[in-house]
């Protein structure tokens, strides 16, 4: 695996669609704002984008931990941009500082970890977990 440098960064942008709202995604009693899991999805994609060019063919990086605060609500139609920066690399484990902003303000921040994996090995392991019906 090529060395992933501390400071490598990436971004991911989404436009808040009706299906991303907390009141549709989770519970109809919630207000029509971006659901936290979708903000985290954007942060995870930003993290993967930060390291994608350092991965060898046949490798990817799976999310293993999130510690996120969702601090402001975002309505439908707003553009959300998540950013990630590598803060620590320990072997296959990579730690990121992540943030998300809508068109007005910061809406979330925290840390996220990913683990570099060999996709063929992972596929074999998953096949071993599958049971025929």
Query: Rounded to two decimals, what is the model's pTM?
Result: 0.92
- The number of domains in the chain is 1
- Of the candidates 39, 47, 48, 59, the one whose C-alpha atom is nearest the C-alpha of residue 106 is 39
Instruction: Tell me the three-class secondary structure of 39-93, residue by residue.
Output: HHHHHHHHHHHHHHHHCCCCEEEEEEEEEEEECCCCECCCEEEEEEEEEEEECCE
- Over residues 65-76, the mean pLDDT reads 97
Q: Is residue 115 part of a domain?
A: yes
Q: Is residue 121 part of a domain?
A: yes
Cα diameter, the chain: 51
Q: Is residue 133 part of a domain?
A: no
Q: Is residue 104 part of a domain?
A: yes
pLDDT in tens, 2-44: 699 999 999 999 999 999 999 987 788 989 999 999 999 999 9
* Residue range(s) defining the domain that contains residue 109: 9-128
Q: Is residue 46 part of a domain?
A: yes
Q: Which two tokens stand for residue 84?
A: 């990630």
Q: How far is CA 72 from the centre of its chain?
A: 18
- Of the candidates 88, 84, 99, the one whose C-alpha atom is nearest the C-alpha of residue 4 is 88
Instruction: State the pLDDT at residue 133.
Output: 59
Q: Is the pLDDT of residue 122 over 90?
A: no
CATH of the domain at 27: 3.10.129.10
Catalytic residues: 36, 44, 70
Q: Is residue 1 part of a domain?
A: no
Q: Is residue 21 part of a domain?
A: yes
Q: Is residue 54 part of a domain?
A: yes
């Amino acid at each position: 695996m090529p060395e992933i440098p501390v400071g490598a960064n990436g971004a991911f942008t989404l436009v808040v669609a009706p299906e991303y709202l907390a009141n549709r995604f989770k519970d109809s009693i919630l207000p029509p704002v971006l659901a936290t899991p979708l903000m985290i999805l954007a942060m995870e994609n930003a993290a993967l984008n930060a390291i994608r060019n350092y991965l060898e063919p046949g490798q990817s990086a799976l999310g293993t931990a999130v510690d996120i605060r969702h601090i402001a609500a975002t309505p439908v139609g707003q553009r959300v941009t998540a950013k990630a920066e590598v803060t620590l690399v320990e072997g296959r484990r990579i730690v990121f500082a992540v943030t998300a902003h809508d068109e007005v303000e910061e809406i979330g921040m925290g840390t996220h970890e990913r683990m570099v994996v060999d996709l063929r090995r992972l596929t074999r392991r998953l096949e071993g977990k599958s049971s025929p019906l």
